[in-house]
A and B are shown apart, each in its own frame.
Chain A
């Protein structure tokens, strides 16, 4: 699953490296001019999306089977999310999005093995794509929410420029946007578990970490508004905790032998 830090001498590897480089370059480009940063970010997205399409064509299946494909897809989803969050939710901070996309693309470009495997029988389900897609969309939104929440914890709240919302409000808006997707991922997984293994809940390590991350965001939304307004940093820390739990669900539960279970193929 994991290879040594190395470039992949294939067209797919070249596309991913280009996407990674463009996302990194977008950061200084923003410092020069916002429009330039946005253009480089968009170019990075085109390269990442091309890599996703190429991978799907090569394997003949949705690129959601292993960490290589999941992180490639996560990286490619960041730009559309960035555009959508500004236009629909009034949340800016595109530089954070580009940095997050670069971090997500680093894994498939440099670390994770790109060896393709046919889908094992358990993954051949109509629920495979909706279950994974719901989680991935939730994860990209919550990654942005967590980055803003971390800024909130460190530097406190800051009013938004122009039509943009404040930092604390942006975190709340993003969490609210992601929670239905996170819930859908969790519940579709439970239904799939019933069809594949006989029980809708197996107390498997990955299931438990995913429930823990869902609970963290539910807890965040359960904080009474008065308390949230008085202590924005403390409440922001709950979102950072939720994102840390997602990382454990996504990475540690897959990579560490400690958590071997029903999801070990993922």
Chain B
């Protein structure tokens, strides 16, 4: 038995060293290739062997059974490996259940189709409805937009000329390169989290009066999430000048003040047989959990003028074992290193693991 214990002790050191080297190799490979490496068949066998070593250690070392902290540490590691194996891609494939997929939905619509790496979407036994989705922004001290007047110019290197100009609140200023004038009537930059009449985060907006001679028009520019620039063609002022239009209309370009996104949120409802069975506002770090799956907000955007969201859907198979393993491992390490640091061993040092 002593011989077995000595072998296990040095084998555990060897396994730790091998895993350490593999981690360093995996870090150079990048996440995608490292995932493939650590989920490959040889390494899957390695994980099983490691789990067997933990189990053998618990059996072979009496100190493990006598010391609750040692038992907790090694059982914790065993649970984490077992949970990881059970929740792995290949284990899901063997059980013919999807491990990870995506759902894309327009606001107000619902879907049960889970897009995975399989050729056909997987039908979930329930559907998910995207009630609404929105971004929240940090308040910004900056409210003024940057204005550019852009005109086509074949002689210019880029094919156009752009002139930045200042438009103080309320004062009418000439539009560079044209005979038009622009006046900012109001800058509206809602504080972070402010909602508009439809319950969405209101985007930064600027209200303008554009004039040329006796003609004038009022425009409201609303910033869109996807692009920091908004542009306005001055056709209302120039539509009678055919030659000018042919040459290329001057365009007002507005760069909205930068706002950093504070959070992405989405209201989700789970429907089963037409009835709502779960509902939650999900955000980053706070997914919806239903029927063995977590639903994460992966992407928000606009398609055909309607907001849409892409959800990452991830199976929670093996997660309870992993979390229990974490708790045992951490509790065991804290107990072993801090609460009872002194080794409770006999003079025989062959059992001397930490």
| A contact set with B: CB distance below 8 Å | 117-118, 120-122, 124-125, 127, 176-177, 179-180, 183-184, 187, 190-192, 194-205, 208-209, 211-212, 215-216, 218-219, 221-226, 253, 258-259, 261-262
B330 near A183: Cβ-Cβ < 8 Å: yes
B323 near A222: Cβ-Cβ < 8 Å: no
B265 to A: closest C-beta gap in Å: 9
A258 near B319: Cβ-Cβ < 8 Å: no
Q: From A124, A226, A261, give the contact of B352 (CB < 8 A).
A: A226
Q: Mark B25-48, 1 if CB is under 8 A from A, else 0.
A: 011101100110110000000000
A212 near B27: Cβ-Cβ < 8 Å: yes
A208 near B285: Cβ-Cβ < 8 Å: no
A118 near B138: Cβ-Cβ < 8 Å: yes
B23 near A211: Cβ-Cβ < 8 Å: yes
A101 to B: closest C-beta gap in Å: 24
Q: From A125, A198, A204, give the contact of B100 (CB < 8 A).
A: A198
Contacts of B277 in A (CB 8 A): none
Report the bound CA distance from A215 to B13 in whole Å: 10
Contacts of A184 in B (CB 8 A): 330
Contacts of A197 in B (CB 8 A): 296
Q: Name which residue of chain A comes closest to B84, CB basis.
A: A201
Report the bound CA distance from A180 to B336 in whole Å: 9
B337 near A176: Cβ-Cβ < 8 Å: yes
Given pairs A194-B294, A216-B20, 13 additional interface contacts (CB within 8 A): A122-B284, A124-B262, A127-B285, A190-B322, A194-B319, A198-B296, A203-B34, A203-B35, A205-B31, A208-B27, A224-B9, A224-B349, A262-B31
A191 near B31: Cβ-Cβ < 8 Å: no
Report the bound CA distance from A118 to B326 in whole Å: 31
Given known A-B contacts A121-B261, A205-B30, A208-B24, A196 and B13 have beta carbons under 8 A apart: no
Given known A-B contacts A208-B27, A225-B352, A261-B30, A219 and B20 have beta carbons under 8 A apart: yes
Contacts of B183 in A (CB 8 A): none
Contacts of B330 in A (CB 8 A): 180, 183-184, 187
Contacts of B337 in A (CB 8 A): 176-177, 179-180
Contacts of A198 in B (CB 8 A): 100, 287, 294, 296, 312, 314
Contacts of B24 in A (CB 8 A): 208-209, 212
A124 near B285: Cβ-Cβ < 8 Å: yes
A103 to B: closest C-beta gap in Å: 24
Q: From A121, A209, A216, A226, give the contact of B263 (CB < 8 A).
A: A121
Q: From B260, B261, B285, B338, give the contact of A195 (CB < 8 A).
A: B285
B55 to A: closest C-beta gap in Å: 17
Contact of B71 with A by CB under 8 A: no
Contact of B341 with A by CB under 8 A: yes
A121 near B264: Cβ-Cβ < 8 Å: yes
A195 near B286: Cβ-Cβ < 8 Å: yes
Contacts of B17 in A (CB 8 A): 219
Contact of B163 with A by CB under 8 A: no
Report the bound CA distance from A218 to B20 in whole Å: 10
Using a CB-CB cutoff of 8 Å, which residues 206-224 of chain B contact chain A?
none
Report the bound CA distance from A194 to B320 in whole Å: 12
Report the bound CA distance from A136 to B108 in whole Å: 45
Report the bound CA distance from A179 to B245 in whole Å: 72
A187 near B262: Cβ-Cβ < 8 Å: no
A52 to B: closest C-beta gap in Å: 23
